[in-house]
Structure 1
């Protein structure tokens, strides 16, 4: 897992195909905070032309998972057990930025939060997630 965390922040990275497919860039990754960015494009829009809510949920989940993995120092594996996303504002263009932090980390459960902003620093979405933590086998 440690190798993955080292490799995923490289440009270009080849260890997380989902981030590449969406065009997500990792701006910062530490045990305190993860910052991911994404340029909004028409290929990620839903029928009304807004960035699809599933894309916002995905970037939030990925940012939260990565900050937690970093906080666990790469010696555990995690799985999202609950994800709650609130959509506050539509976005059609520009750059979005997702910031994730670990709220509480236990032995087998962690609670993490993410906030997503548009390029005008307006909050467009919030998310919280619960992750199950287990030993790497």
Structure 2
């Protein structure tokens, strides 16, 4: 514990404003995850907010922060993919029984414009629900309504382990 505390003190003593902002985001996300058993570390780290639209549709938004940026200063494509996967997976899982879960088996993404602005919003919906597979669609929009990425996802239905 002392080594961690020393590392944090050293980091803060030499940190830029952006580095302090990112550390603050990371610490806040750890605290929020501890208080919410239904979220994941990555959803808290990206500060995802979820809104159920109807039985088949969901929206998840994330604020654009320096933590999400790639070396060009735009949202990293892998984090946009994470947003898509989370939204499409959440939409798929809403159609299942308590003893079931849907896991990603395939995802196809087209990036259409850079992720810039103050937030990204992913609108995802279920296109087809079979016994073993669920097919979904997701679209990510910037805060000015520009299409950033679109994807389709296929999710395989599994049975949860008893302790989950």
Quickly name the TM-score band, shorter chain normalised: 0.7 to 0.9
1:40-88 residue CA offsets vs partner (Å, 9 max, x unmatched): 1111100011100001100000001111111224441121011111110
Structure 1 consecutive aligned stretches of length 4 or more whose deviation exceeds 6 Å:
none
- Greater fraction of residues in helix: 2
Listed as ranges, the matches of 1:36-115 within 5 Å are 36-115=60-139
Distance between the aligned counterparts of 2:121 and 2:98, measured in 1?
24
| TM-score scaled by length of structure 2 | 0.71
Question: Offset of 1:91 from its aligned partner?
Answer: 2.1
Residue pair 1:103, 1:112 contacting (<8 A) in 2 also = yes
Give 5+ residue unaligned stretches, structure 1.
1-11
Question: Offset of 1:134 from its aligned partner?
Answer: 2.1
1:9-67 residue CA offsets vs partner (Å, 9 max, x unmatched): xxx73432210011111122653111000111111100011100001100000001111
Residue pair 2:51, 2:59 contacting (<8 A) in 1 also = yes
Q: Provide the residue aligned with 1:13 in structure 2.
A: 36
1:114-137 residue CA offsets vs partner (Å, 9 max, x unmatched): 001111111111011111112234
Residue pair 2:91, 2:125 contacting (<8 A) in 1 also = yes
Aligned residues: 126
SS of corresponding position for 2:121: strand
Larger RCO (CA within 8 A; separation ≥ 6): 1
| TM-score scaled by length of structure 1 | 0.84
Q: Provide the residue aligned with 2:155 in structure 1.
A: 131
